[in-house]
A = this chain, B = another copy of it.
Amino acid sequence: MSGAPADVRLTLEEVRALARRVLLAAGLAAPHAFAVAETMVAGERDGCASHGIYRLLVAARSIAAGVVVTDAVPAVSEPAPALVQVDGGGGFAQLAFETGRPLLAEKARRYGIAALALNHVVHFAALWPEVEALAEDGLVALAFTPSHAWVAPTGGTQPVFGTNPIAFGWPRPGAHPFVFDFATSAVARGEIELHRRAGKPVPDDWGYDAAGAPTTDAEAVLAGAMRTFGGHKGSALAAMVELLAGPLIGDMTSRESIALDDGRGGSPIGGELIVAIDPAGFLGLGVAGHLQRAEALFDAIEGQGARLPSQRRYDARQRSLAEGVIIPGALYADILALPGGEK
C-alpha cells in the first residue's frame, strides 16, 4: 500500500475551486471555465464520477490539442419567433447553453413551446444538467445531441450514429425534477473503455469488430462499432437524434464530426437541440392540478419498488451536500499534476 495515494474528501466548494483553477490554467477564458466547472461540480455532487472532475483531464487534453476555441463568445440569434440559435464559435457547449437559456425559457412561456439550437460547440458533458435546469424553472424539456460515429444501425455493423443521448426533464412541485438522460447506444462508450483497460472481455452483444463480426474484444469494438440499445427501436431513435440535432439545425452528423476529427481523438464537435414546453401553455390555471396527476404516476412507479430515473443521482446529491465527495487518490494526484492543480 506504500505508494498508492489515499482517497481524499473534498467539499463541493473545493471541487469547484479546483476545477476553475485547472480550467483557467489550461487557458480557458473565465466565462467558459466557470460554466464548465459547474457541470463537473454537478457530476461529482450527483455521484456521476465519469462526468465529474475526471473530465478535467479530458478538457485539458482537448484544449492542449487545439480542438476547443478557449475564448469563444457565443452569439445568439432568433431565426424564428419561437426559435433561439446560439453559435458557440467552437467553444465548450456549457456557456453556449447558458447564453441561450434565458431566451429559450422566455420564448417557451410566450409561445407555449420553443426550441434552442446550439451550433459549433464542443461536447463532453451530460445533457441532464440542462434539462434539469429548465425543469427547475418549471418547463418541460427535451435535449438531443449526436457525437462521433461509433454505433451501427440495427441490421448493419458499420458505425453511423453517435452514442446520441436523449434527455428529458419534467418539473415536480416540491421535489427534484423527473429527469432522464441516456445514450441510445447499448452501453456507454466509457464502459467499453473500462473493460479494455481492465483487459476484460465484453458481452458479445455490445458490438462488432471492424470486419462486422460480433466480438467480445473491447478494443475491437472500440475500433469497430457499438450496437444501439433496444434493437430496431433504439436504432430508430439514434437516427432521430442525428437528424434533429444535425441537419435540422445545420450542424454535423456523427459521421461528419468524426471525419473532421480525423483521428485526433478530440471530443465531438457539433450541435444540440433543446425543446422547452411551458405547462401553462396548454393548462393555463390548471397547471397545479395536472402536475399533481403526474405525481400520482410517479407514486405508482415508486410504490411498487421501481425507481425513478434520477433517484440515484438525487440520493448522491443529498449525501454530497452534507458530507462532500470522495475523489480517488490516483485521480486526485493526476489532477494536481495539471497546471493550476496545486494552489
Check if A199 is an interface residue, CB within 8 A of chain B: no
A244 to chain B, nearest CB (A): 7
Q: A80-B278, A301-B156 are in contact. Are A293 and B236 (CB under 8 A)?
A: no
Determine whether the beta carbon of B178 is less than 8 Å from that of A255: no
Check if A180 is an interface residue, CB within 8 A of chain B: yes
Determine whether the beta carbon of A247 is less than 8 Å from that of B291: yes
> A115: which B residues are within 8 A, CB to CB?
112-113, 277, 281
> Quick one: copies of this chain in the complex?
2
Q: Which of B184, B233, B307 contacts A182 (CB 8 A)?
A: B233
Task: Give the complex CA separation of A112 and B81 in angstroms.
Answer: 7
Q: A155-B305, A243-B297, A248-B140 are in contact. Are A110 and B83 (CB under 8 A)?
A: no
Nearest B residue (CB) for A290: B247
Identify the stretch in A24-32, A224-232, A322-330, A333-341 within 8 Å (CB) of chain B at 4 or more residues.
A224-232
Q: Which of B80, B291, B309 contacts A112 (CB 8 A)?
A: B80
Q: Which of B81, B156, B291, B306 contacts A306 (CB 8 A)?
A: B156
Determine whether the beta carbon of B255 is less than 8 Å from that of A300: yes
Nearest B residue (CB) for A115: B113
Determine whether the beta carbon of A279 is less than 8 Å from that of B248: yes
Instruction: Determine which residue in A110, A112, A166, A286 has the highest number of CB atoms from chain B within 10 A of its CB, and name it.
Output: A112
Q: Which of B157, B170, B230 contacts A229 (CB 8 A)?
A: B230
